[in-house]
Chains A and B, each alone.
Chain A
Amino acid sequence: MRQQPVLSVISVIGTALAIFLIMVVVMLNQVSVAPFAPESNRDRFLHAKYGSIKMDDGGGNNYDSNGPYSYKSIESLYKNLKGAEATTAYTSYNISGNVNVVGEPPVKIDYIGTDADFWRVFDFTFIEGKPYDEAAVESGLPQAVITRGVARKVFGGTDVIGREIQLNYAPFTVVGVVEDVSTLATSAYAQVWIPFTVDHSSTSIWNGVMGTLSATILVKDGVSLEEVHEECQRKLDAYNKEQGPNNWNFVSRGRPYDQEANSVAFSSNNEPDVKGERRRRLIVYLILLIVPAVNLSSMTESRLRRRVSEIGVRRAFGSTRSAIIRQIIMENMAVTLLAGMVGLLMSVAFAYLADAMLFAQPFSSTLNPPKADVSMLLQWSTFLWALLFCFVLNLLSTGIPAWRASRTSVVNAISGRQN
């Protein structure tokens, strides 16, 4: 490397740049599927954010409608599943509201209404107190769980269990304080959580079966998502039977979705195109790998030309072709890994510093910008991906030049001629 500093520096920059950009793309995808608190069980989640219903009125007219569910529908369709640890129902979108203590100016917050299972499905870190329980939800007690940030803004501290806040001019008792949640935890995110039975926008119902709630199922450890999926389908058929043929009937559209499908399910009336999304990502990865690989391989070739005589000497002393190829690839792998580390570090730093801009979510129900921390960005899978991409990039960029270099005949090689 030291012999050709400029070429080496360019190769390292090129490799680092490629790995940097690829890892940013990986992270963009990762924040929506990889686990982090309070959505640490994303691999065991099944989501039903929206439902779809249709009706045949018997007179040849067909109607259809899409949107969040009523509580009764969620209870009938997704609760009490054999394969599930728990199922939670919560307001489908964040509602912006005001909290304050009487007499103080209002603080703008995002809130949602939830049932008690919400706190079992999502793993929040409680700093103070505990969540509201089933009894509180059933009897509609005005209790609230708030984040550390809200507690600080409203009370100036977190030791606030039992104190009263005004949420939209109605009094609530604070029962728990949790760590702030990133908006990237798209299902669990809010700043204030209250029993959904206290909030009229969470209990409103339309078309009899629809409302404003979404469901997330936490599948039992060891039970496959497919099993629960089938169970849900059976429940849906039973619920439709209950409704009667000339009433609103649910259409599954493949619901409930796993985390990946849910992250690309933007409209309630279309099934998410998971395969298409994967294909698009693959094309992006390919372009990001092939263009720099072509570049780097022309540089590797230049570098190898200077070493033809060395290769010739080795071959003359009995080194096999494959040994030479292996050696060249391994040498380059060291450079690639070094550059890959630089690229990975750059991408993590960039993602951390520019999180609000980078991870801004489409169709978000909150205007608050997303926050990413290192625990979200640096997962084991991140390293594996980076390593894999380095390996592929290295193989692509040195494979062909190394193979060609190894084929140079001994005499030509030593005399400095190629081929």
Chain B
Amino acid sequence: MNKKLITQICNEWKSNVWLAVELLIVSVVMWYICDYMYVRFANYFDNRGFDIEHCYLIEIDNLTEQSPYFVENQTYEMALADKEELLERLARRPEIEAAAYSNNSYPYNGSNSGISMVLDTMYTYGYVIRRSVTPDYMKVFRYEGANGETPEQLAEMIRRGEILTSEELLAHYGKNMKEFVGQEAFLDRDTVTHHRIGAAIKKVRYTDWQDWGMNQTIVLLLEDLNYGNECVVRVKDNMDKNFRENLMAVSGKELRVGNLYIRDVKSLADLRDNFQRSSTLAIRNYLTGMGFLMLNVFLGLLGAFWFRTQQRVKEIAIRKVSGATRRSVFMRFIGEGVLILSVVTLPAIALDFWIAKSGLNAWFNNEYLNWDRLLICAAVSYLIILIMIVVGIAIPANRAMKTEPAEALHDE
């Protein structure tokens, strides 16, 4: 039977070459997309280290001189006191669970400050994000301690002036920061001030979809509130309805302190979507491309087999007369498509390998070429194309088989 199938494929070789070329291109492109999705989603489902649900960024600004409410000749201390007062007013509101100031710190920010640390003779490596925050920041974003410390405990450490470091800060020495809790470290180039390490915290991700090597952080107390360029709040789970509208409605009367006023309230979810748009757009484009290719394979096979099965109505009829079942005739046609796909899969994998070897595909866990990933993705793309082949062939084959043998053969 298989021998016959191969003979048949050879007889039809001209149109099968077209089919094979198409399936080869589609296999490689499909693998590329699967690989891309694999990496993106593997990153996406990795732990983030924080929680932004019900969190908002409160944009605070200073009145200009043109405003009738402008307070002239404010001293630094007065401005500081106003800033403290505004945070307290926010924190006292019944719907707000926690409120904090921070500097270049909130998730999905894009503006970062760097920091480095020296511990004994060990140095941090690469970019470490400095997060200067007031204690309740830990409660706003619910940071997680590596040893299971709660956000409340972490906030207390910040209040005491201790620093919190990512677990993997010294991973290049094969060390976990959990070992160094309670020890003293130096920050930046300052070799005078000691900072006690309060806790190691779980990795704080920079983006959801990508691994940019921007996941290392050191969190420390924001000492001068005037440098707190961000105000973030967590709203109680059950009171998150129309939070923005309600707050803006009262902001003119209740939340203007000295020269400070609330310019806007943005949800962290909106900020995240905007920050990650280039990734989500790319994912959308690739998925569209995948759908397009699948439709093409479907249409291509539909077209090719429509003609072929029409030509072979007589052949089918003879087979049926000689006792072939519907199923066996059906399998014969499908088998033809599957065999071609299987044959081109080998050169396709070779091309996939070449692409990965050249580093043209997605980057994950510090590598482009990983055999497990390559084969998994090749298998997934094989299956997707297989489904299209079965559907694309089944429709014309089914139609051809409906013709009664007597009718198909009455010319003979």
Contacts and interface: CB of A to CB of B under 8 A. Distances in A.
B64 interface: yes
A288 B67 CA distance: 57
A375 to B, nearest CB: 24
A302 interface: yes
A170 B67 contact: yes
**Size range of the chain B interface in the assembly:** 35 or more
A169 B15 contact: no
Nearest to B284: A357
Given A10-B302, A14-B296, A170 B63 contact: yes
A88 interface: no
Contact of B66 (A7, A14, A198, A201): A198
SS class of chain A's interface: helix, strand, loop or mixed? helix
Interface stretch (B201-209, B230-238, B286-294, B379-387): B286-294
Given A17-B292, A96-B59, A199 B300 contact: no
A298 interface: yes
Contact of B22 (A7, A171, A294): A294
Nearest to B271: A367
A302 B266 contact: no
B192 interface: no
A6 B306 contact: yes
Nearest to A140: B66
Contacts of B15: 298, 301-302
A142 B66 contact: yes
Contacts of A301: 14-15, 18
A335 interface: no
B295 interface: yes
Interface in A337-381: 360-364, 367
Contact of B19 (A10, A168, A169, A298): A298
A37 to B, nearest CB: 25
Contacts of B296: 14, 17-18, 291-292, 295
B9 interface: no
A112 to B, nearest CB: 14
A98 interface: yes
A7 B278 CA distance: 39
Contacts of A199: 64
Contacts of A129: none
Interface residues of A, number: 47
A198 B25 contact: no
Contact of B303 (A21, A170, A299, A361): A299
A363 B295 CA distance: 32
Contacts of B18: 294, 297-298, 301
B300 A294 contact: yes
A295 B61 CA distance: 60
B281 A362 contact: yes
Contact of B288 (A21, A287, A298): A21
B62 interface: yes
- The winner among A108, A290, A295 for most chain B CB atoms within 10 A is A295
A213 to B, nearest CB: 17
A302 B277 contact: no
Given A14-B296, A298-B15, A168 B61 contact: yes
B299 interface: yes
A361 B15 CA distance: 43
A5 B100 CA distance: 68
A295 B294 CA distance: 12
A295 B22 contact: yes
B113 interface: no
A298 B64 contact: no
A287 B25 contact: yes
A106 interface: yes
Interface string B264-291: 1010001000110110010000001100
Interface in A180-206: 198-201
A200 B249 contact: no
B299 A14 contact: yes
Contacts of A7: 303, 306-307
Contact of B295 (A17, A106, A201): A17
Given A294-B18, A298-B19, A98 B64 contact: no
Contacts of A105: 248-249
A364 B261 CA distance: 24
A168 B251 CA distance: 11
B300 to A, nearest CB: 4
Given A14-B299, A172-B66, A363-B274, 12 more contacts: A17-B299, A95-B263, A106-B251, A169-B63, A169-B256, A170-B66, A200-B62, A291-B293, A298-B19, A298-B22, A299-B303, A305-B307
Q: Which 7 A-B pairs have the closest CB atoms?
A: A362-B278, A295-B300, A170-B67, A298-B18, A302-B307, A96-B264, A170-B66
16 contacts: A11-B303, A17-B295, A21-B288, A96-B263, A96-B264, A106-B248, A168-B61, A171-B66, A200-B62, A287-B289, A294-B22, A295-B22, A295-B296, A295-B303, A297-B18, A298-B15
Interface of B: 14-15, 18-19, 21-22, 25-26, 29, 59, 61-64, 66-70, 110, 248-249, 251-252, 256, 261, 263-264, 266, 270, 274-275, 277-278, 281, 288-289, 292-293, 295-296, 299-300, 302-304, 306-307
